[in-house]
Structure 1
Amino acid sequence: MAFDSFTMLEKLTIQSFSSGERKIKDSLGSFEAMFNPDSYSVSYQNTYGTKTGINTTGSNAKYGFSKPERINLKLILDGNNVDTHFGILNLFRNDDVSKKVQKFLDLTREMNGDIHQPPYLIIRWGDLYFKCRLSSVNINYTQFNGSGIPLRAELDTEFIKDVETVERLKKENKNSPDLTHYRIVGTHDQLPLMCKAIYGSAQYYPWVAKANNLNDFRNLKPGQRIYFPPIEK
C-alpha cells in the first residue's frame, strides 16, 4: 500500500454542539484523537422486575426499560517531542498534553454558559456515528519532564447515548396509549381521528387540545407537532 494512503486514515473525532439537534450552526468545535483507539466497547442493558411472591421459588422477569447504550474508549495523548506514527516526524511542545486535555474537557464536560449543561456530542470514526453525552472520564498522567509537566495522558472515557425524543420514539415504534406520543400533522389530519388512532377513542381530543394549548383544534396546520400525553385506563 502506498505511503500516501496511510496519511489519509481517518481520525476519531468528537464534535461538540450547544443544541440537542446537533446542527452545524450550533457547533462548538471538535476534538480529534491524536491516535485512534485500539478498540472500543459498546454496552447494552435491559432492566427487569423480578419480585418474588411468598412461598414461590421464582418469578417471571417483567421488562422494565432499556438503559441507554454506552460506549467506552481510551484516548492517548502523547507529548514526548516526537510522534513517529506512520514514520512521520512531528514536534510537540511539552505543554501540548495539558492543553489537549483541557480542550477535550472544554468540548465534552464543562458546562456551557448558553445551555447551562455540558455540550451535546457526536463521535465519528469509520462506521461509528454516535450521538451522546460524556458520562465520565478518568485521566491518567504517566510521563513527566524534569519540571513535572505531563508528557503523556490516557483518557478512559464513557459516553452515554443521547437522541432527541422524536427520533427515539420513531425508533421504538411504540403504540401503547399509556406512553407519550408525538405526531406531525398531515394535510388531512384531524385531532379526534388522531386521538382515535393513538388512544383507541376520539373522546380524548379535548384533553390533547388543552395539553397543546390549541385554541382551535379544528384548524391544525400541516407540519405542526402535536403532543399526545399518556393516559391511564
Structure 2
Amino acid sequence: MDTTINKLRIISLPSPDTSAAGSPAAALGAIAGALLTKIFEVQINPEQITRNFGIKYREPNAPGANGSEFQFDKVNPEELELRFILDGTGAVLQNNMPSPDMVGNLLNALPAEAQAAYVPVKVLQLQAAVYDFIDEKHRTPFILVQYGKLVFMGLLMNMSVNYNLFSPSGIPLRAEVTLNLKAHTPFKDSAALLSLLSPDLTRRHQVVAGENILRICDDVYEAEKYYLEVAKANGLTNFRNLKPLTNLILPPLEKTPAS
C-alpha cells in the first residue's frame, strides 16, 4: 500500500514560451533549475477547489426589436479558485516526507515551539511565487497548479490572506489564503514540463505482509521490470522476502517502452 500523501503544489514558471531559450530542451533545463526555489507546497490540502467555465455571447441591439438573439462570441478562459489554510500553532503534524518545497522542508524541521515563524514565511514564499513582479520579464509569474489529476496553468488575478489567530506578540499563527487564477496555456512543451514535476520526486512505501518487490514495482511503476533499480536504491541484496514494516524508497525512474 502506497502511503504517500500528495500535496497541492503551486509552481512559478519563468516563461510560457519554451522557444525563448533557443530550444525546448534548453528551456526545460532552465525551468528545472529554477524549480527548487519556485515550488510552494500547501501545508493542508484544500477541502474545496472551484473551477469556473464561462462562455461569452453577443446580444445584437436592434432598435425596436422584441426579445434577443444571442450570438456566440468566445469561450472564456477557465478560472480556478483555491482556498487553503496555513497554521503556525504547531498543531498540524508534518508527515516528514521529502518534498521539492525547500522552504517548507526547513520550516517543518523546526520544533513545535518555533513554528510561530511558519505563517509569515510561507506567505512571503507564496507571494514571491505567484505575485511579485519579475523585473527582467516585466510581468508577474506564470503559474502551474498541480494536485492529483488537476493540472492548471495560468496567471494570478487576485490573492487574499485572512489572518485570524495571533500570538501575544502579534505574530500571525493562522491564515486563510484565497487565490483566484485565470487559465493561460501557451506552453509548447507542457508534457515535458509536467514530467519534470512528477508527483513523486521520491516516494516512500512501507511493506505489508505478503508483499514483494515485484508487486510493489507493478503497483507504483506499472511494470515489474524496475525491481533492480528499486533494490539498488535501497541497498537490498535479498529482496524476494521483504520484512513487514520495512520502509522502502521509491525513486523517480524514467520509464522505457514495453518490449
Larger Rg: 1
Instruction: Tell me the equivalent position of 1:97.
Output: 119
**Does 2:151 match 1:134?**
no
Structure 2: which 5+ residue stretches go unaligned? Answer: 19-27, 98-107, 190-259
TM-score of the pair, normalised by structure 2: 0.57
Instruction: Tell me the equivalent position of 1:226.
Output: none
Q: Which amino acid aligns with 1:13?
A: R
CA contact (8 A) 2:17 2:187 kept: no
CA contact (8 A) 1:98 1:150 kept: yes
Instruction: Tell me the equivalent position of 2:63.
Output: 54
Report the 3-state secondary structure (helix = DSSP H, G, I; strand = E; otherwise coil) of the residue aligned with 1:94.
Answer: helix
Instruction: Tell me the equivalent position of 2:7.
Output: 11
Q: Which has the higher strand share?
A: 1
Provide closer, same or farther for how the CA distance between residues 24 and 137 of structure 1 changes in structure 2, counting only shifts above 3 A. farther
2 CA distance for matches of 1:10 and 1:84? 15
Instruction: Tell me the equivalent position of 2:143.
Output: 121
CA contact (8 A) 2:87 2:119 kept: yes
Aligned residues between the structures: 162
Instruction: Tell me the equivalent position of 1:42.
Output: 51
Off by >6 Å, runs of 4+ in structure 1: none
Instruction: Tell me the equivalent position of 1:154.
Output: 176
1:20-73 CA distances to partner (integer Å, 9 max, x unpaired)? 147351335100000100010110111111123222212220111222101001
Q: Which fold has the larger relative contact order, with Cα–Cα distance below 8 Å and residues 6 or more apart in sequence?
A: 2
CA contact (8 A) 2:8 2:145 kept: yes
1:108-136 CA distances to partner (integer Å, 9 max, x unpaired)? 00001221111111100000011111111
CA apart distance, 1:165: 8.0
1:95-116 CA distances to partner (integer Å, 9 max, x unpaired)? 2100100100001000012211
Provide closer, same or farther for how the CA distance between residues 154 and 10 of structure 1 changes in structure 2, counting only shifts above 3 A. same
Structure 1: which 5+ residue stretches go unaligned? Answer: 168-233
TM-score of the pair, normalised by structure 1: 0.63
Of the candidates 51, 64, 76, which is equivalent to residue 67 of structure 1?
76
Report the 3-state secondary structure (helix = DSSP H, G, I; strand = E; otherwise coil) of the residue aligned with 1:82.
Answer: coil
**Identity across matched positions, percent:** 25
> 1:221-232 maps to which residues of 2 (within 5 A)?
none
Instruction: Tell me the equivalent position of 1:20.
Output: 16
Instruction: Tell me the equivalent position of 1:107.
Output: 129
CA contact (8 A) 2:162 2:177 kept: yes
| RMSD (CA atoms) | 2.4
CA contact (8 A) 1:18 1:114 kept: no
Q: Which amino acid aligns with 2:134?
A: N
